[in-house]
Amino acid sequence: MNAIRVHPAPPSSTPYSPSNPAPTSALRLDENVPVPKLSKPGELLVRLKATTVVRDMLTWPETYVHPYAIIGNDLSGIVTEVYGGSDKFKPGDEVFGMANVDRAATWAEFTLATEEEIALKPSAFSWEQAAALPLTAQTAYEALFTHAGVPVPSVEDAMKNRNESPRSSQRILITGASGAVGMHLVQLASAAGLHVVAASSSNARNQDFLRGLGANETIEYTLMDDYRSNFDVIIDVVGGDVLVKCWDCVKDSGTLVSVDSASFDFVQEHEKRGLCRPGVRALFFIVAGSSEGLQYLAKLAERGILQSLVVQAYPFDKVQEAYEHANGRHTGRGKIVLVN
């Protein structure tokens, strides 16, 4: 099969690692790579149609677990084989999902997945739109419903909530609201009936877009000081100084969740700095993903409640260009996608 692999450093050079990331030129489309073999119940082989390129993937530790690694998490494609049969999926099913980080290998013509990592693709979505959804939308789903404890609305209630004023007295602040995770947070929080305040770096650039997704208010980070002790839930996607400001904005009994990867130890660090407040539940998490969550997101997508945006799609042989695009300061909204 064809697969994009991370080639190792030249013999006379320092090996690539998270602290010495491989250059974009190390990403190469190779031919005659062995097709993955199914080995246990619950595994499926998927012929890939689309996957995503995420910023800074060449700095991730899992990229260097073994030489010639195939990276990538998001996927959409067609099931071609099921180990020992399955009562959930069959060959020919169109699916989408997110491969576990320990086995990420979706930048390939074929990839392994498990029954718990995929769901049937929303028929209303293209392959590209479906591939752009799992990682970011499941991060938003788990942040809001699993970790912040907001009740998951039925699809019918979600439809009503998106078409009416906030049905709940709960107020939520979402930072990084115009980004890939943030825009899904805005849509899901609106679908849950919360009063959504979406924060970004520029109201002029993002206000109309965020209100179109369901935000009730939009603010710039410089105005967060005007919202002291104002929010029941804050979900941060930015980190840094913006995350520091969130402590003043959350209510005494509120919840502060960060999904910014650089903020994995923010609770401990902020406690040392005297920023934490008694009664505020604060945490960082890494998305786990589940078929159940994907199925729910697919239902919202089918009803037009959840959008998935793609900035640009590239063929596999343009992977270096795609990676540079994803790591640049592009102005498009949504994900960079690779198509096979």
Position 330 scores a pLDDT of: 63
Name residues whose C-beta falls within 8 Å of residue 210's C-beta, 6 or more positions apart in sequence. Answer: 177, 178, 183, 186, 198, 200, 218
Same domain, 29 and 102: yes
Amino acid at 156: E
Query: Do 191 and 234 reside in the same domain of the chain?
Result: yes
Predicted pLDDT at 279: 94
Range of the domain at 332: 3-133+308-339
Q: How far apart are CA 274 and CA 264, in angstroms?
A: 18
Question: Is residue 291 included in any domain, yes or no?
Answer: no
289 belongs to a structural domain: no
Asked if 40 and 116 touch (Cβ cutoff 8 Å), the reply is no
Task: Give the pLDDT confidence score for residue 95 in this predicted structure.
Answer: 98
Residues 22 and 95 in one domain: yes
| One domain, residues 328 and 280 | no
Q: Are residues 129 and 197 in the same domain?
A: no
Residues 70, 145 within the same domain: no
Cα angle value 123/129/132 (rounded, 5°): 130
102 vs 39: CA distance, rounded Å? 16
Domain count across the chain: 2
Closest CA to 202 of 333, 335, 305, 336: 333
Q: Which long-range contacts (CB under 8 A, 24 or more apart) does 58-62 make?
A: 58/6, 58/16, 58/21, 58/22, 58/23, 58/24, 58/26, 58/27, 58/323, 59/18, 59/21, 60/18, 61/18, 62/101, 62/102, 62/104
- Are 194 and 122 in a shared domain? no
Do residue 69 and residue 179 come from a single domain?
no
Q: Which residues contact 36 (CB under 8 A, 6 or more apart)?
A: 45, 105, 110, 111, 112
In a domain, 206, yes or no: yes
Q: Which of 196, 146, 144, 147 is nearest to 170 (CA)?
A: 196
Please indicate, yes or no, whether residues 200 and 234 belong to a single structural domain of this protein. yes
Q: What is the pLDDT of residue 329?
A: 67
Residue 39: both structure tokens together: 């080995």
- On whether both 278 and 174 belong to a single domain, the answer is yes
Residue 330: which CATH number? 3.90.180.10
Structure pTM? 0.95
Assigned domain for 227 exists: yes
| Per-residue pLDDT at 179 | 92
Quick check: is 278 in a domain? yes
Residue 293 lies in a domain: no
pLDDT in tens, the chain (340 residues): 999 999 999 999 999 999 999 999 999 999 999 999 999 999 999 999 999 999 899 999 989 999 999 999 999 999 999 998 778 999 999 999 999 877 889 999 999 999 999 999 999 999 999 999 999 999 999 999 999 999 999 999 999 887 776 667 899 999 999 999 999 999 999 999 999 999 999 999 999 999 999 999 999 999 999 999 999 999 999 999 999 999 999 999 999 999 998 999 999 999 999 999 999 999 999 999 999 999 999 999 999 999 999 999 999 999 999 999 999 866 678 999 999 9
Cα–Cα distance, 234 to 2 (Å, whole number): 43
Evaluate whether residue 52 is within a structural domain. yes
Distance of CA 120 to the CA centre of its chain: 18
One domain for residues 201 and 272? yes
295 within domain boundaries: no
120 & 247 share domain: no
Who contacts 241 (Cβ-Cβ below 8 Å, separation ≥6)?
Answer: none
